Amino acid sequence: MPAPSYLLKSRHGIYYFRIRAPRSAKQLTKSSGDIRVSLRTKNKRCALYLSRKIWIAMTERALESTSSKLFEWEIETEFERKKYFYGKELIEKFENADPTNTFVLQELAEHLCKEELEAYIFAWEHDEEHRQEKRRQTARLVAEAIAGSGLLAPSELAPKDDQNASLDNDAELQEAITRFLSASVRAPATLRSYKSKLALFHHIILGQVKGREARVSQITPRMIREYADSVRLLPKNFEVESRVELSSVLVEPGTGIAPKTIASHFGVARSLLLWLEHQHYPIEPNLVRIFGTLKVPSNRKRFPFECHELQQLFKSPEYVLGTFQRAADYWVPLIGLFTGAREAEICQLHTSDILQDEATGLWVFNFNADDEKRLKTRESERKVPIHPSLQKLGLITYAEQQRSANVICLFPDEKRNARGEFASFSKRFNRYKVKCGIESKPTRRKDFHSFRHNVSGQLAGKACPDYAINGITGHSQAKESHSIRTYSDGPSLETANKWLKRLDYGFDFSKIRPNGWKKCLTGKR
């Protein structure tokens, strides 16, 4: 193989030796694959000679190391091994999307369930460790090769001339933040949250450069550590004001904002720092490592409603006498109890989503993301048979009357807030739950999501297959076999209907007044 010589001439007339790394190395290092070393000469013939000498020395060093492993990493258990290779499948499917970027992580969370996301991050972290070792080995190999050529002393791979030239890409921090937010394609509510958190980040960094406008190149690890320490001591509901000295409002450790909120602040700052690196601003790399892991363990586990609690909810005067003032207050809990659907999935239903399947003749809920509707994951799009108890209570009649009145939404009074949540309904349901005597403790939460646990638990207790439970409730099939994950569309409507009919909560729903919804009929929307 001929010994190629690649020359790059800087704007100062200095020649550099440049070699493109192989494609496999570029994939491992996640870089452009350029290896560049200053030849310290303006003479082209001399530069050609020196570059050939360096190439020969590098080749000899590489041949010496081929018999040994450059990288050794192993996964201890068979479970971790399967988790890793499943994560690799997902990484390939999502085209190597970087989960350390908060924007990307949020996108992944919208398409993957918890188990899939954990496998994705697990595989990514293993490969990242592999890539870092590759960078160290490559840098060591080049340095030894240059030293072995007898021509040049070991030097940094990044030429100083280029480092000086990179300052031309410097910018004020506020300007960079504005560009970052402009480049972020997110929901308006998310952008508002990012803007407020980055205002705090800018305020803290600005306070460390004595009031002058901070520049990207001035950000140091000490500043990031100071920012992280300050965020951990912020009081609750803190709002940034330029005239307020931050040190005067910090609180004692453990009395400030919640760990989840701290992780949210760090996640936004981390996204900004990674974006600055990717945009080739002159900033020190790997500053994001100062934040450490952003995963916050939670002990706020949800639990299903007990049988006597369900009776308290559905044998109340409101249900027996039909005195609810809103259609959603009457129907949404009942639909949740017999489908296991999420609160938002039910509240956003259109009247056209209550339909009769042509093939089976079954009445079904059509959970989809059409128009302004949203779903948590792609598996959430599904059809679920309507339980006979709901039909006896008049759900089909209610939907048809809404349709005949040209009402688009099944529950037109329910609106999303600025964050895209049906917060008004959530508050009303929680107040109703407390009124019925059901308590929810911090470590034993009981809220609308508990209905999902009731449905899943009932079906599992009756030996319903996991793939059918996942299909009914809109969960991912991540833990199922490859065939089910790849080729199955979930249980058939007949199968789902068979299992849903077996739901038994231990009391008679006929005591609920079917006409309770009539007072809730609403006009057009």
pLDDT tens digit string along 387-430?
A: 999 999 999 999 999 999 999 999 999 998 877 889 999 999 99
Q: What's the one-letter identity of residue 154?
A: P
Q: Which has the minimum average pLDDT: 128-132, 226-230, 262-266, 354-358?
A: 128-132
Q: Are residues 287 and 316 in the same domain?
A: no
Q: Are residues 189 and 206 in the same domain?
A: yes
List residues bridging with 421 in a β-sheet: none
% of residues, the chain, pLDDT over 70: 74
Contacts of 294 (CB under 8 A, 6+ apart): 263, 266, 267, 270
C-beta contacts of 143-150 below 8 A and 24+ residues apart: 144/61, 145/54, 145/57, 145/58, 145/60, 145/61, 146/37, 146/54, 146/57, 148/57, 148/60, 148/61, 149/53, 149/54, 149/56, 149/57
Whose tokens are 């079904």? That residue is: 364
Can you tell me the distance from the alpha carbon of 341 to that of 338, in angstroms, rounded to the nearest whole number? Answer: 8
Q: Are residues 160 and 268 in the same domain?
A: no
Q: Are residues 133 and 281 in the same domain?
A: no
Can you tell me the distance from the alpha carbon of 356 to that of 403, in angstroms, rounded to the nearest whole number? Answer: 14
Tokens found for residue 158: 């990044």
In a domain, 4, yes or no: yes
Q: Are residues 187 and 115 in the same domain?
A: no
% of residues, the chain, pLDDT over 90: 27
pLDDT tier, 78 (very low <50, low <70, confident <90, very high otherwise): low
In a domain, 89, yes or no: yes
Greatest distance between any 2 Cα atoms in the chain = 97
Can you tell me the distance from the alpha carbon of 384 to that of 495, in angstroms, rounded to the nearest whole number? Answer: 10
Can you tell me the distance from the alpha carbon of 343 to that of 284, in angstroms, rounded to the nearest whole number? Answer: 45
pLDDT at 32 over 70: no
Predicted pLDDT at 449: 92
In a domain, 148, yes or no: yes
Report which of 406, 388, 413, 391 is spatially closest to residue 351, judged by C-alpha positions. 406
Q: Are 341 and 471 in contact (CB under 8 A)?
A: no
Q: Are residues 48 and 116 in the same domain?
A: yes
Can you tell me the distance from the alpha carbon of 124 to that of 505, in angstroms, rounded to the nearest whole number? Answer: 44
Contacts of 381 (CB under 8 A, 6+ apart): 367, 368, 369, 375, 474
Whose tokens are 């000679």? That residue is: 49
In a domain, 88, yes or no: yes
Q: Could you tell me where the DSSP H helices lie in 239-362?
A: 259-278, 307-314, 317-321, 327-339, 343-347
Q: Are residues 284 and 360 in the same domain?
A: no
Contacts of 315 (CB under 8 A, 6+ apart): 507, 511, 512
Can you tell me the distance from the alpha carbon of 13 to that of 19, in angstroms, rounded to the nearest whole number? Answer: 19
pLDDT at 69 over 70: no
Can you tell me the distance from the alpha carbon of 20 to that of 496, in angstroms, rounded to the nearest whole number? Answer: 57
Predicted pLDDT at 436: 92
List residues bridging with 7 in a β-sheet: 17
In a domain, 311, yes or no: yes
Q: At what angle do helices 466-473 and 493-500 cross, to 10 degrees?
A: 90
| Dihedral pair phi/psi, residue 68, rounded to 5° | -110, 155
Predicted pLDDT at 428: 94
pLDDT at 31 over 60: no
Question: Which of 168, 200, 225 is the last residue before a domain boundary?
Answer: 168
* pLDDT digits 0-9 by tens, 366-397: 999 898 898 888 888 999 999 999 999 999 99
Q: Are residues 76 and 187 in the same domain?
A: no
Q: Are residues 509 and 374 in the same domain?
A: yes
Contacts of 331 (CB under 8 A, 6+ apart): 346, 395, 398, 410, 411, 517
Whose tokens are 């480092």? That residue is: 163
Structural domain of 107: 1-168
Predicted pLDDT at 362: 95
Predicted pLDDT at 287: 87
The CATH number of residue 315's host domain is 1.10.443
Question: Which of 229, 259, 291 is the last residue before a domain boundary?
Answer: 291
In a domain, 301, yes or no: no
Buried b / exposed e along 162-173 (16+ C-beta atoms within 10 A): eeeeeeeeebeb
Tokens found for residue 436: 């019925």
Q: How many domains does the chain have?
A: 3
In a domain, 278, yes or no: yes
Q: CA 140 → CA 21, 70, 482, distances in Å?
A: 15, 12, 42
Q: Are 202 and 173 in contact (CB under 8 A)?
A: yes
Q: Are residues 230 and 157 in the same domain?
A: no
| Chain mean position to CA 244 | 34
| Dihedral pair phi/psi, residue 17, rounded to 5° | -85, 125
In a domain, 302, yes or no: no
Residue 31 DSSP label: S
Q: What angle do CA 496, 474, 493 make, to 5 degrees?
A: 20
Q: Which has the minimum average pLDDT: 380-384, 452-456, 506-510?
A: 506-510
Average pLDDT in the chain: 78
Q: Are residues 183 and 159 in the same domain?
A: no
Question: Which of 256, 291, 326 is the last residue before a domain boundary?
Answer: 291
pLDDT at 341 over 80: yes
Buried b / exposed e along 221-232 (16+ C-beta atoms within 10 A): eebbebbbebbb
Q: Are residues 160 and 175 in the same domain?
A: no
Residue predicted with more confidence, 434 or 50: 434
| Dihedral pair phi/psi, residue 208, rounded to 5° | -95, -5
